[in-house]
Structure 1
Amino acid sequence: MDASETVPATDARAEALVASYQRAGYARVAPAILQPAEPFLDLSGEDIRKRMFLTAAPGGDEDFCLRPDLTIPVSRDYLASPQAGRPAGFSYLGPVFRHRTDGPAEFLQAGIESFGRPDKAAADAEMLALGLEATAHYGLAQADIQIGDVALFSGLIAALDLPAAWKRRLVKDFNRKANLAQDLNRLTLGGANGRPEYQGVLAALAGSDPKGAHALVTDLLSIAGINAVGGRSVAEIADRFLEQSALGASTRLPKDVRGLIERFLTIKGDPDEAAAELRALAAEAGMAETLGPDLDVFESRAGFLAAQGVDLKRVSFSTAFGRGFDYYTGFVFELTDPTRTGDPLVAGGRYDGLLARLGSAEPIAAVGFAVWIERLAVYGGAR
C-alpha cells in the first residue's frame, strides 16, 4: 500500500494531523486515484453514485472513476495485502472527487480506517475520540456530536414477521426516509399497489431459483447491450428487478407494527437516556432477547466513550440518524459546528459487511472516519 501521495505545502496542519494518526499506530497509505467504478456504484448509495466522475477503459470492458471517497479504496488495498484478515489500521490524506454545486469537485480528506478489531465497542469509541482530536487540532474546542446505530434498526426489522425481501428493502430505506414512508404505506395497504408493465415477467420469475433467475435477467440485459443505467451496474439492475418480483407478493403490515417502527424512529437523547427508552420499547414489543445484543453493544460503546473522556451529555443520539452510505451497518457519527455550517466536519462509522462484499471470504470488522479538511481550514491554528 503506497503512501507516496503528497498534498500542497499549504496543508501543513493536515499533514500534522495525519502524522498524529501515524504515531497512534495507523500506517499512512495512498490508494490509487483512479478506481474500478463498480464497487462504488454497488455499495456507496444514491448520493455518491449521482455525483461520481466516470470513465470507461478502451474497448468499454470496464468502467473506472475518480475516487469519490477513500473508504472503499483503502479497504480494497487492505484485502489485496498480506495483512488481509488480520487487525490493521491505516490513515490517509489526499484528494477525493465528487460533483458539487457549492464547491470544487476536487477536495482533500484525511481519515482513518480500522480493520479486524474484535473489540468493536472500544474501536467505535476510539474513532469518535480521534475525530474529536481532529476538530480540536484545528481550533474547534466544542464540536457538536451526533451519533446513530444502524444495527438497532436492522435488528428491529429482522424481528418482524415479514418476507426477507421486504426486510432488506426496509433496511435499505433507512437512509432514505421518504422511501421508507412510501414502503410502509405500501405494506400497510397490503404489498404491491399498481401494476407495472413488466408485471408478467415478475410473475414468471416469482418463486424461481434465485441464482438462475439472476443469471437469466443478467443475460437478457447483456444481450440488449445494457452495461449500466443511471450509474447502476448490470448486476445491480438485475438485483433490483428480482427484488420487485419478491416485493410484488401480497404482504400486509399490521398498523400496530407500523406504529412500533415509527415510534422506534422517534427515540433520541443522550446515550443513557436513549438506552433506557430502547430497553423499555424492546420489552414492551417482546423483542428484549432479539434487540438485547445490539443494545449491549450500544451501552458498552457509551462506557468506552466516557473512558475516552467524552462527556455523554454532549452526545446527541437518534435512532433515525444515518449517513447516506449504504455500506454502514452499525455505529455512525458526525461532528459539526452549527454556528458556521450544518455540514459535517468529521464523519464516519462501522461497516462490517463491506469487506465481504468486496471479495473477502469471511466478514471482517471495520470502522473509520473521514475529515473534511476544507471545512476545518476556516478555524484557527493547530494546537
Structure 2
Amino acid sequence: MIAAAASHATGSAVWADALLRSFAEAGYALTEPPVLQPAEPFLDLSGEDIRKSMYLTTDASGEELCLRPDLTIPVARAYLCSNRAGQPTGYSYLGPVFRYREGCASEFLQAGVESFGRLDRPAADAEMLALALQATQAFGLSDVEIRAGDVALFTTLIDALGLYPVWRRRLIKDFNRKVSLEQDIGRLAVATAATPNEYEGVLAALAGSDRKAALALVTDLMSIAGTSNVGGRTVAEIADRFLEQSTLKAGALPRDALAIIKRFLAIAGDPRAAIAQLRALANDCRLDIGSAIDTLESRVGFMADRGIDIANVRFSTAFGRGLDYYTGFEFEIHAKSSGLEPLVAGGRYDGLLQRLGSGAAIPAVGFSVWVEAFARIGNPAPSGRSS
C-alpha cells in the first residue's frame, strides 16, 4: 500500500514537471504564494459557501486567516504586490491547496496559469484555453470535451431588459448557482402572473429608486412605527430584507422578459450556431447585446486560429462555474471517458483585482489544473510533448 502511494506521488510529480515546462515555454514564470492567506478575500469574492470547506484560524491581532483553498486569489494578490502590477504579466503555479472534501483528501495539488493586464481579451481567452488543452496533452490525454460559457452575455442580457435593481442583483449573483437561478426564474414567473396587490405601486417605486434612499425611507418608517429589534436583527437589517422580498413579490418584470430569459438560457451547442441564435434573439426582441455577441464571435475566431477544434466545444449560455468573481468567458475540460469532474477549469475575472485593492480594473483570465483528477483517470505517464 505504501509502495502504491509512493508510486502515485512520483507519477504526479512527473506530470507536474511536464506541466511547468509547458507553462514556462509559453512565457508564464513560476510563482509560489504563501500557504497561509487572509481569509476575507476568499469569503468576499468566492462566495460565502466556501467557508464550509475552508481551514480557518485567527492570529493574535484577531485577523481571520486560512490555508489557501485555491491559488487564483493568492497569485492575484502577489501580482498586485509586485513591480509589474498594472502591466501585462503572466504567472504559472503549482502547489498544495486545502479544502474539505467529503471522502477525499483535504490537501491536494493545484497547478495553473493566470494572465493579468492584457487588453486583447478575446485573444487572451483563446490562449488560456489553448494552454489548458496543452496541459491535458502533458498528461497524455487528448480525448477531451470542452464546456464553455460567458457570464458577460447573461449580464448584458439582464441589463438590456431593464430589470429593477433588486432582480438584476439577484439573477446575476445566482447565475453560477443553477438551483438558485432556477428558483428565481420560477419566482419571476409567479410574480409576473400574480394579481397586483394594493401596495404594488409603492413597492415598484421603491424598487426603481436609489437603493440607499429607499432603504433609508423604509428604515425611518419602521422606526416611526416603533420597531427596534426582532429576532436579533436590527431595524436596518429588517428593512433591507423587507425591501428585497417585497420587491420580488411585486413582480418586477415586463411581461415578455421571462420568456426572453428562458429563450436565452436554452441556447447551447456548437459556438457558431449559438452565435447565430443569439443574434436572432437580439434582433427579434430588439435587445442591445450586440457587443457581447461580437466578443464571443471574436473569441471563437481566435480559438480556431490556435488550432482548437470548435466542433469539440460545447457552448451554453447557461454555463457557469459557481464563483462570484467571474465576469466573462468560463470553461471546463473533461475527459470523454470519465466526464463527471473537470480536469481543467477557468475563465475571465476582470473585476477581481480591483476588489483586491487595485486602484483601477485590470483584465485577468486564467485556469487551474486539478492534478489528482488526471491521476484518478489512470493515465500512466505524461506525453513527451512540452509545448
In angstroms, what is the RMSD of aligned CA positions?
2.7
Alpha carbons of structure 1 residues 168 and 370: separation in structure 2 relative to 1, 3 Å: same
Deviation at 1:183, TM superposition (A): 2.2
1:110 aligned residue: 111
Q: Which deviates further from its counterpart, 46-55 or 299-308?
A: 46-55
In the TM superposition, what is the alpha-carbon distance from 1:255 to its structure 2 partner? Answer: 4.0
The answer to whether the Cα contact below 8 Å between 1:47 and 1:324 also exists between their aligned partners in 2 is no
Is 1:292 matched up with 2:293?
no
Query: Is 1:181 the equivalent of 2:179?
Result: no
Post-superposition offset of 1:212: 9.8
Q: Percent identity?
A: 54
Shift of 1:52: 1.1
* Structure 2 gap segments, 5+ residues each: 1-8, 197-205, 220-228, 230-235
Check whether the contact 1:51–1:99 (CA below 8 A) recurs between aligned residues: yes
Shift of 1:24: 1.2
Matched, 1:266 2:279: no
Match of 2:123, SS state, is helix
Give the counterpart of 1:343 among 336, 341, 344.
Answer: 341
Q: What residue is the counterpart of 1:28 in the other structure?
A: 30
Q: CA offset at residue 90 of structure 1?
A: 0.3
Moved >6 Å (runs of 4+) = 210-213, 238-241
What is the CA-CA distance between 1:350 and the residue it aligns to?
0.4
Map of 1:380 onto structure 2? 380
Paired residues for 1:18-97 under 5 Å? 18-59=20-61, 61-97=62-98
SS, match of residue 316 in structure 1 = strand
* Distance in 1 separating the partners of 2:254 and 2:290: 24
CA 210–372 in structure 1, closer or farther in 2 if over 3 Å, else same: farther
Check conservation: 1:162, 1:251, Cα contact below 8 A: no
> Is the 1:188–1:253 contact (alpha carbons within 8 Å) kept by the matching residues of 2?
no
Inter-partner Cα distance in structure 1 for 2:254 and 2:363: 35
* Amino acid in structure 1 at the alignment position of 2:183: Q
Change in Cα spacing, 1:180 to 1:208, as seen in structure 2 (3 Å) is closer
1:245 alignment counterpart? 243
Q: Deviations over 1:102-129 (max 9, x none)?
A: 3100000110000000110010001111
Q: Which residue of 2 aligns with 1:282?
A: 282
CA contact (8 A) 2:143 2:336 kept: no
Instruction: Report the structure number with the largest CA radius of gyration.
Output: 2
Task: Note the alpha carbon deviations across 1:237-259, whole angstroms, 9 max, x for none.
Answer: x9998476345333432442101
Compared with structure 1, are the counterparts of its residues 148 and 306 closer, same or farther at alpha carbon in structure 2 (3 Å cutoff)?
Answer: same
CA contact under 8 A between 2:22 and 2:135: conserved in structure 1? no
Return the letter of the residue paired with 1:28.
L
Q: CA deviation at 1:177?
A: 2.3
1:335 Cα deviation (Å)?
Answer: 0.5
**CA offset at residue 341 of structure 1?**
4.2
TM-score, normalised to structure 2, is: 0.82
Cα distance in 2 for residues equivalent to 1:146 and 1:239? 40
| Deviating more after overlay: 242-251 vs 34-43 | 242-251
> Which amino acid in 2 is paired with 1:279?
R
Residue pair 1:124, 1:350 contacting (<8 A) in 2 also: yes
Distance 1:243 1:117, change over 3 A: farther
Q: Conserved in 2, the CA contact under 8 Å of 1:34 and 1:66?
A: yes
Matched residues in 2 for 1:46 and 1:344: separation?
A: 22
Q: Deviations over 1:31-50 (max 9, x none)?
A: 11111111111111255332
Tell me how far 1:187 sits from its aligned partner. 3.4
Secondary structure of the structure 2 residue equivalent to 1:129: helix
Shift of 1:16: 2.2
Contact in 1 for aligned 2:177/2:320 (Cα 8 Å) = no
Aligned to 1:334: 332
Consecutive unaligned residues in structure 1, runs of 5 or more: 1-7, 194-202, 217-223, 225-237
Instruction: Provide the rounded CA distance (Å) in 2 between the counterparts of 1:57 and 1:182.
Output: 40
Name the SS for the 2:161 alignment partner: coil
Distance 2:72 2:159 in 1: 27
